[in-house]
Amino acid sequence: MPYDRSNIFAKILRGEIPCVKIYEDDKTLAFMDVMPQAEGHTLVLPKEEAEDIFSLSPASAAAVIQTAQKVAKAVKAATGAPGVMLVQLNGKAAGQSVFHIHMHVIPRHHGIDLEFHERNMVPAETLEPLAAKIRAAL
């Protein structure tokens, strides 16, 4: 399937839709998930147009994991989470809902279950205070 340039992440990358930005470099963008599974849930995207891991170049794959590592350290520090889960889904059957490859950085605490993804959207302004803490921890 050809890459769909009208997907929401492509629009965010082009600046057509706002996001609560955490980090950006020439190859990646990280921002808060507006449908978080846990407080501090952040997404890391390559700027390359790629639907999934299979269509992503090795250079962009390396950039995504490097940014995810950097962001995961900051999310862990900012949230005080003892653990961080990195999740990357490929294809509808795997649970991928936005077809621009992305990695989820989700802080984890003992005894706290994850929220369901794509059920409850939170306003961007409620994400900004924690986003500021994450950015400060970078």
Active site residues: 102
Domain ranges, residue 13: 8-137
112 token code pair: 């706290």
Q: In whole angstroms, give the CA distance from residue 76 to residue 82.
A: 7
Q: What would the pLDDT profile of 46-105 be if each residue is shown by its tens digit?
A: 999 999 999 999 999 999 999 999 999 999 999 999 999 999 999 999 999 999 999 999
Whether 98 is covered by a domain: the verdict is yes
Q: What is residue 116's predicted lDDT score, i.e. its pLDDT?
A: 67
Whether 121 is covered by a domain: the verdict is yes
Whether 1 is covered by a domain: the verdict is no
Residues 18-38: what's their mean pLDDT?
97
Q: How many domains is the chain partitioned into structurally?
A: 1
Lowest mean pLDDT: which of 10-14, 104-108, 109-113?
109-113
- Is residue 68 classed as helix, strand or coil in its secondary structure? helix
Tell me the three-class secondary structure of 9-33, residue by residue: HHHHHCCCCCCCEEEECCCEEEEEC
Whether 3 is covered by a domain: the verdict is no
Sheet holding 42-46, edge to edge: 21-24, 28-32, 42-46, 103-108, 83-87
Whether 2 is covered by a domain: the verdict is no
- Is pLDDT above 70 for 34? yes
CATH of the domain at 18: 3.30.428.10
Whether 85 is covered by a domain: the verdict is yes
Q: What would the pLDDT profile of 117-132 be if each residue is shown by its tens digit?
A: 767 788 989 999 999 9
Q: What is residue 118's predicted lDDT score, i.e. its pLDDT?
A: 65
Q: What is residue 117's predicted lDDT score, i.e. its pLDDT?
A: 73
Whether 33 is covered by a domain: the verdict is yes
Residue with the bigger pLDDT between 117 and 12: it is 12
DSSP class of residue 97 equals -
